[in-house]
Amino acid sequence: MFIDTHMHEMTYSKDSFLALDQMVQIARMKGLEGICITDHDSMGLKEYAAEYSKDTGFPIFVGIEYYSLQGDIVAFGIEDYPTERIPAQDFIDLVNAQAGVCFAAHPFRNNNRGLEENLRKVKGLHGLEVLNGSTSVEACQKAARYAAELGLFTLGSSDCHVPEKVGVCATYFPEKFHTMEGFLDAFRKGQMKPAYYAGGKYHVLELKEQQKSKIPFTFYAFNDRMYL
């Protein structure tokens, strides 16, 4: 199943222009089978999203995009989170202590909100966002190289704040689930792959090894026009 794993809804992400019903409508139209609401430093939409999901039968998983002192980290499966900025390692430790999962969002975006070289310093991340719908192709490629080096799971997501960005990137999970427990279990298995939307459907992005290059991975069939 394809799930957009990093999205912002307008109630708690003040820089978003998207309401939940609009997000679900667009997601369904594109063929997504679930979405993740990861508002900035908030999980305030959790109860409303759970009721909406129950009423519509469409899976909605609420996490958080937390702005640590070193950069943004997306987390799921937690109840408690800081109300002030703390070091990335402290937040990762907090997530793991609650049996949650987390990944570094847009680690090399040029806005000083990615972990960048801190990826090599922190311990306990589960994954890395290697496709982000609001980040340059070059920054995504660099993230993929770091994921390979560090042995982290790879994900894709739109990071949408406006309608046209919903679902431009997503994550493919090889099994179906409808609960947060199922989502967390599938995430921990690490079999997901980044995907992008083009030509009316999703394409799984395979990361191929290059035997004769210092760059261990490169993108094939990557359509950078989705960032326009």
Query: What backbone phi and psi angles, to 5 degrees, belong to 154?
Result: -110, 140
Q: What pLDDT is recorded for position 178?
A: 96
Q: What pLDDT is recorded for position 59?
A: 98
Q: What pLDDT is recorded for position 206?
A: 85
Average pLDDT over residues 210-226: 37
Q: Which two tokens stand for residue 126?
A: 């589960």
Helices (H), 44-127: 46-56, 88-97
* Assessment of whether the complete model's pTM goes beyond 0.85: yes
Q: Residue 221 above 60 pLDDT?
A: no
Q: Which residues pair with 76 in a beta bridge?
A: 101
Average pLDDT over residues 148-177: 97
- Give the separation between CA 171 and CA 193, rounded to whole angstroms: 6
Q: What pLDDT is recorded for position 207?
A: 75
Q: Which class for 194: exposed (0-12), middle (13-18), buried (19 or more C-beta within 10 A)? A: buried
Lowest mean pLDDT among 13-17, 69-73, 136-140, 221-225: 221-225
Average pLDDT over residues 205-221: 47
User: Could you give the domains of the chain?
Assistant: 2-227 (3.20.20.140)
Q: Give the pLDDT confidence of 26-61 residue by residue, as tens digits.
A: 999 999 999 999 999 999 999 999 999 999 999 999
Q: What pLDDT is recorded for position 208?
A: 60
Q: Give the pLDDT confidence of 166-194 residue by residue, as tens digits.
A: 999 999 999 999 999 999 999 999 999 99
Q: Residue 128 above 80 pLDDT?
A: yes
Q: Are 117 and 151 in contact (CB under 8 A)?
A: no
pLDDT band for position 220 (50/70/90)? very low
